[in-house]
Amino acid sequence: MKKLVLSILGLLFISTSVMAQEVNIFSARHYDSDVQLYKKFTAKTGIKVNIVSGKDKALQKRIKEEGKDCKGDLYITADAGRLGAFQSQGMFQKGASSAGIKKVVPANFRSAYWTGIAKRARVIYYNPKTVNPSWNMTYEDLADPKYKGRVVIRQSNNVYNQSLVASLIKNNGAKNTETWAKGLVSNFARKAKGNDRAQILAVAAGEADWAVANTYYIALMLSGKKGPEQQAAAKKVKPFFPNQDGRGTHMNISGGGILKHAPNKANAIKLLEFLLTPEAQKHIVNNTFEYSMIDGVEPNKLISQFGLGFKQDLKTKVSSYGKLQAKALKIMTEAGWN
Partner 1 sequence: MIVPLLVAIPIITIFFSFFDTRSEYLTLLKNTFLLEYISNSFFILVGVLFLTFIFGVTSAYFVSFYNFTGVNFFKWALILSFAVPGYIYAYSLTAFFENYGTAFSILTFLFGDSEYNQYIPKFDGLIGSIFSISFSLFGYVYVLTRASFLYQSHNLIEVGKNLGFSTKRSFFKIILPSARPAIVAGLSLVAMEAVSDFGTVSFFSISTLTTAIYNSWISFDDLSTANQLSFMLLFFILILFIIENYSRKSAKYHQPSRGFKSIPKIELKGKKSALAFTFCSMLFFCSFLFPVFQMSYWTIKFPKYFQDIDLWSLNFNTLLLVFLSSVCLIVFSFLSNYGNRVSKSKLLNYLSAFSISGYAIPGVILAVAFITFISWLSDTFTSAFGFASFKPLFIGSVIGLVLAYFVRFFSLSFNGIRSGYLKINQSIDDSAYLLGYSKFKTFTRIHVPYLKSSVFLVGVLIAIEIIKELPITLILRPFNFETFATKAYSYAAQDLLEAAAFPSLCLIMWASLFILFASRYILSDK
Report the alpha-carbon angle 182-184-188, nearest 5: 115
Cα 254 from Cα 289, distance rounded (Å):
12
Contact flag: residue 202 with partner 1 (CB under 8 A): yes
Instruction: Give the residue with the Cβ less far from partner 1, 35 or 314.
Output: 35
CB of 215 to partner 1, least distance (A): 14
Q: Give the span between the Cα atoms of 231 and 235, in whole angstroms.
A: 7
Beta strand pairing call for 114-126 and 291-292: antiparallel
If one asks whether residue 263 binds partner 1 (CB under 8 A), the answer comes out as: no
Comparing CA positions, the residue from 131, 143, 132, 135 lying closest to residue 242 is 135
| Residue 189 DSSP class | S
Q: Is 215 in the site for partner 1 (CB under 8 A)?
A: no
Q: Does 53 bind partner 1 (CB under 8 A)?
A: yes
How far lies 269's CA from each of 106, 113, 259, in Å? 17, 11, 11
CB of 60 to partner 1, least distance (A): 8
Q: Which of 54, 100, 106, 263 forms a contact with partner 1 (CB under 8 A)?
A: 54
Instruction: Indicate the pairing of strand 74-77 with strand 22-27.
Output: parallel
Residue 25 CA from chain centroid, whole number: 17
Query: Does 6 sit near partner 1 (CB under 8 A)?
Result: no
How near is the Cβ of 311 to partner 1 at its closest, in Å?
A: 28
Measured CA to CA, the distance from residue 269 to residue 252 in angstroms comes to 22
Stretch near partner 1 under the rule CB under 8 A, chosen from 92-100, 105-113, 301-309, 329-337: 329-337
Residue of 112, 95, 111, 110 lying closest to 270 (CA atoms): 95
List binders of partner 1 among 118-147 (CB under 8 A). Answer: none
Among the residue ranges 131-139, 177-185, 315-323, 326-334, the one whose residues contact partner 1 (CB under 8 A): 326-334
| Residue 309 in the binding site for partner 1 (CB under 8 A) | no
Note whether 65 binds partner 1 by CB under 8 A.
yes
Query: Judged by CB under 8 A, does residue 32 bind partner 1?
Result: yes
| Residue 201 in the binding site for partner 1 (CB under 8 A) | yes
User: Distance (Å, rounded) from C-alpha 225 to C-alpha 67?
Assistant: 40
285 in contact with partner 1 (CB under 8 A): no
- Distance from C-alpha of 303 to C-alpha of 201, rounded to nearest angstrom: 18
According to DSSP, residue 318 is labeled G
Site string for partner 1, 11-30 (x = CB under 8 A): xxxxxx-------x----xx
3-state helix, strand, coil in the chain (%, to 5): 50, 15, 35
In whole angstroms, what is the distance from residue 131 CA to residue 2 CA?
Answer: 68
Regarding 69 and contact with partner 1 (CB under 8 A), the answer is yes
> Could you tell me which stretch among 47-55, 163-171, 178-186, 254-262 binds partner 1 (CB under 8 A)?
47-55
Q: Which of 37, 71, 268, 294 touches partner 1 by CB under 8 A?
A: 71
176 binds partner 1 (CB under 8 A): no
108 touches partner 1 (CB under 8 A): no
CB of 328 to partner 1, least distance (A): 12
**Which contiguous run of DSSP H or E holds residue 50?**
strand 48-53
Q: Min. distance of Cβ 102 from partner 1 in angstroms?
A: 30
Q: What residues line the site for partner 1 (CB under 8 A)?
A: 7-8, 11-16, 24, 29-32, 50-55, 57-59, 61-62, 65-69, 71, 154-155, 157, 191-198, 201-202, 204-207, 217, 220, 225-227, 229-230, 232-233, 326, 330, 333-334, 336, 338
